[in-house]
Each structure stands twice: as structure tokens, then as C-alpha cells.
Copies of this chain bind each other. A is one copy, B any other.
Amino acid sequence: LKKLIGIDLGGTSVKFAVLSFDGEIQYKWRIETNINNDGKNIVPSIIESIKENLEQYRITSNDILGIGMGSPGAINGKEGTVIGAYNLGWKTLQRVKEQIESAIGIPFYIDNDANVAALGELWKGAGEGDTDVIFVTLGTGIGGGVIVQGNLVHGASAAGELGHIIVDPDGYVCTCGNQGCLETVASATGIVRLAKDLAKEFKGDSSLKLIIDEGSNITSKMVFEQAKDDELARIVIDKFSYYLGLASGNIVNILNPNTIVIGGGVSAAGEMLIENVEKYFLKYTFPPLRSTTKLKLAKLGNEAGVIGAAWLVRKSISDIKQD
């Protein structure tokens, strides 16, 4: 059985992995992302790095079924192009598939980074064995991937904009221009925003409030860490949980997936996060559907991207058979 190559292209580093056909990571490495010069060096350095490493591990292109990649920006999967990936410097259309296939001679597949991470969690992570999985990644912003019957949902243009589900029509203004998007209150930045706002009206003892009042920076991690002893931190987490629970409940009312997987930096808060969100999640789910959709933490962490990218390759085989 041939091997798979998975690539997770990000604004600071490019992660690579060679995986077995069954998704076991056999080799992995990373390089820095060189975003200078409108990101013109990114694809050439990826090509070079693959060639070097295959040679080092004595793998020929004949041993490889294909290369998969998760990328920021707006992706055209069929054409294998990327546009508007600003954290890579890619403002104009990048013909990634064309460049990589002609240089390495192996079939290439690409999708949006959050989508690819969703596939990783479906294949080897919290959604293993499921067919319908929603992946929500809580980082600086919020990304998402929607998988139905094992397939990514792309919709008319770009499905899975879960960070822009409106959870409070009178809420904070989002970077997208709308008001009350989930991202404004449930991303790492959103949690800090909630903490600062709720601190203003909080009257009790709180070390979190002291730090905020001093004008020092706080992080979403600090909020979760202090929840045990700090009343304000608990209020912030409760508010965050309400919003994420409301959005997740409504996802069930529309799609009733097997699992909603919560990943991204904020999910490092662990089971405490799930417990808090679950209370609201169950409340806002249509009663007959409660207990049919599970809410789970992501399992693969940083490796979801390369594993899901490899699944893009692996899955292409069964898709071809169906055509």
C-alpha cells in the first residue's frame, strides 16, 4: 500500500508528514513560512522540502499515492488554487496544484485548513467512526468544518463559517462587519473581550478583575485557569459557554451530526470547557435530539491538519470509484 503526504500550511510554519495508507504518521518535519515577497517563495520551498525529505527517507514518488494540503484563504479544490490568504501574503491567485504536481509528479489535493483539520478529527480523532461531524476551532478567530456522510460540505461558495453564526443580534461588532457573531464572544479574543466587559460591572473580589483594572493583558487561558477560585472568571466562562452552547444546539437542530468536536487553542481548557458548554448545549437542542449528538474535545491537536490532508488523498480514491 502506498504512503500519503499531508501538509498543513500556516502563517508561521508549514508542517509535513509522511503517513501510511492507514493514517499512521511515519515521518514528520516542519519549515518556517517565508511570507516575504508576497509569499512567492512558499510553494518553491515546499517543493524543495518534500524532495529533500523523500530522498533522506529513501522514498520514491512511486511509493506515494498523493499529496494533500490544508491552506488558509479561499480554495478552489478542483483547480487547486488559493486566493486571499493574507497571512501568507497571497493576495492574488496561486496555482498551487499546478506547481507542485509538475515539480514532483504526484497527484495533489487541497482544501481549507479548518476543513482539513475536521477531516483529520473524523478519520483519527474525536469523530473516529462517525459519518457526520462538525469541527469548531476556537483560536484567535473561529473556524469550522462541516462533514456530512463522510464528505466535506462546501455549499455554494464556502460552508462552515461557524465563527459567523449570529448568537447575539445586538452584540459586539465583528471584524466581518456583522454584529454578534460567535467569534466576537467565543474565540480567544472574544473571551478576553467578555472578561474586560464583565469586569466593569463586577463588584466582588477577583484577581482577574485586579489584573484587568491595572491595565495588564489577560488571556483566555488565564480566565480558564482562574475559574476554580475566581468568581468573575466563572461568570466569563458561563457567558462564553452560553454562546457556544446556543450555536452548537442550533447546529444540532439543523444537522444533528454524530459529534461536534471543539478544537483550537481555547480547547486546551479541557473537559471543564465541555462540561460548561454542555449545560447550554443540551438546553438549546430540540429535546428529542438531546443525547443523539455528542460534544467532544478535539484529540489530534496540531496533527489534525497533516492527518486530514492525508485523508484528502486517501479519500480521492473512493471518490473516483463513485464517479
Contact = CB atoms under 8 A, between A and B. Distances in A.
A210 interface: no
Given A151-B149, A287-B178, A292 B157 contact: yes
Quickly give the copy total for this chain.
Answer: 2
Interface in A240-258: 246, 249-251, 253-258
Contact of A255 (B153, B166, B283, B292): B153
A159 interface: yes
B160 A287 contact: no
A254 B253 contact: no
Contacts of A71: none
A22 interface: no
Contact of A284 (B162, B178, B254, B322): B178
A156 B256 contact: yes
A320 interface: no
A213 to B, nearest CB: 31
A159 B287 contact: no
Contact of A176 (B249, B250, B286): B286
Contacts of A250: 165-166, 250
Given A169-B246, A292-B156, A164 B255 contact: no
Given A146-B254, A250-B165, A254-B159, A177 B287 contact: yes
Contacts of A249: 166
Contact of A148 (B148, B162, B164, B253): B148
Interface in A191-214: none
A215 interface: no
A173 interface: no
Contact of A161 (B148, B289, B322): B289
A300 B206 CA distance: 61
Interface of A: 132, 144, 146, 148-149, 151, 153-162, 164-166, 169, 176-178, 181, 246, 249-251, 253-258, 283-284, 286-289, 292-293, 322
19 contacts: A132-B153, A132-B156, A144-B254, A155-B255, A156-B256, A156-B292, A156-B293, A157-B288, A158-B256, A159-B256, A161-B254, A161-B289, A162-B253, A166-B250, A169-B246, A169-B284, A254-B255, A255-B255, A322-B322
Given A132-B153, A155-B293, 18 more contacts: A144-B254, A146-B254, A148-B151, A156-B256, A156-B292, A157-B292, A158-B288, A161-B254, A161-B289, A162-B253, A166-B284, A176-B286, A178-B283, A178-B284, A178-B287, A181-B286, A255-B255, A322-B322
